[in-house]
Amino acid sequence: MKRAVLIHRINGDSTSDWIPWLGEELSKKGFEVISPDMPKLDSASIDEWVSIIYNLVGNPDIDTYIIGHGFGSLVALRYLSVLKEGSRIGAVFMVAPWTEVKKNCIEDMPDLREWEDDWIWWDRAKEHSRDFLIFYSDNDRCVTEKDSLEFGRRIGAEMILEKNRGHFTEDDDVTQLPALLERIVKISG
């Protein structure tokens, strides 16, 4: 059975933005959907988020698809970095991932500098998925286009520009993301 793991953004949850819509649409298409509410970062670390995903997924396989939003994208790649050698998933879809957040983007943004130089083991992450796709916007208040493109270059992702979608949040009036659903369905075959 195909599984979709949805990882929300830092200040979101499983009911934020386009996450519930995508989960419902994928369920209709026969996917098992895993969409946990992750702990707030002021009381947890990236490794705690990764541990939650690791335990929920169990044994990943080529029918496992991970979808991350913002910080959830980083968690997805960190998760791949810690998988056992030989483990592979179908694809990783990242929406508005970042390596550097614009100042004043996120209220009460936790200090992530303690781990940011070692947050993603890019080469290890690449070994564990056959496809990487990034959806980014030309007017994201949190992530520059330059950062999105650099992130994509580093992981070898297909880049998909969605014009005027901001950071893909409810505040940006983004509660559905049909292009993402279409690509998941297409890649999952």
Q: What is the pLDDT of residue 73?
A: 93
Above pLDDT 70, what percent of the chain? 87
Q: How confident is the model at residue 107 (pLDDT cuts 50, 70, 90)?
A: low
Tell me: the pLDDT tens digits for 158-174? Answer: 999 999 999 999 999 99
User: Domains in the chain: how many in total?
Assistant: 1
Q: What is the mean pLDDT of residues 40-66?
A: 88
Q: Which two tokens stand for residue 25?
A: 């649409």
| Residue 9, pLDDT above cutoff 50 | yes
pLDDT at 126: 92
DSSP 20: H
* Residue 99 pLDDT level (bands cut at 50, 70, 90): confident
State the residue for tokens 């901001």: 166
Distance, first Cα to last Cα, the chain: 12
Instruction: Please answer whether residues 166 and 137 qualify as being in contact, where contact means their C-beta atoms are separated by less than 8 angstroms.
Output: yes
Residue 48 lies in domain = 3-188
Note the pLDDT of residue 110.
56
In this predicted structure, the answer to whether residue 177 has a pLDDT above a threshold of 90 is yes
- Model confidence at 108: pLDDT above 50: yes
Burial of 103 (0-12, 13-18, 19+ CB in 10 A): exposed
pTM for the full predicted model: 0.92
Q: Which residues, including other chains, have CB under 8 Å from residue 82's CB and lie 6 or more apart?
A: 50, 54
Residues 90-116, mean pLDDT to the nearest whole number? 70
Say what percent of the chain tops pLDDT 90: 72
Identify whether the C-beta of residue 133 lies closer than 8 Å to the C-beta of residue 157. Answer: yes
pLDDT classification of 123: cutoffs 50, 70, 90? confident
Between residues 98 and 88, the one the model is more confident about:
88
pLDDT at residue number 101: 66
CATH of the domain at 181: 3.40.50.1820
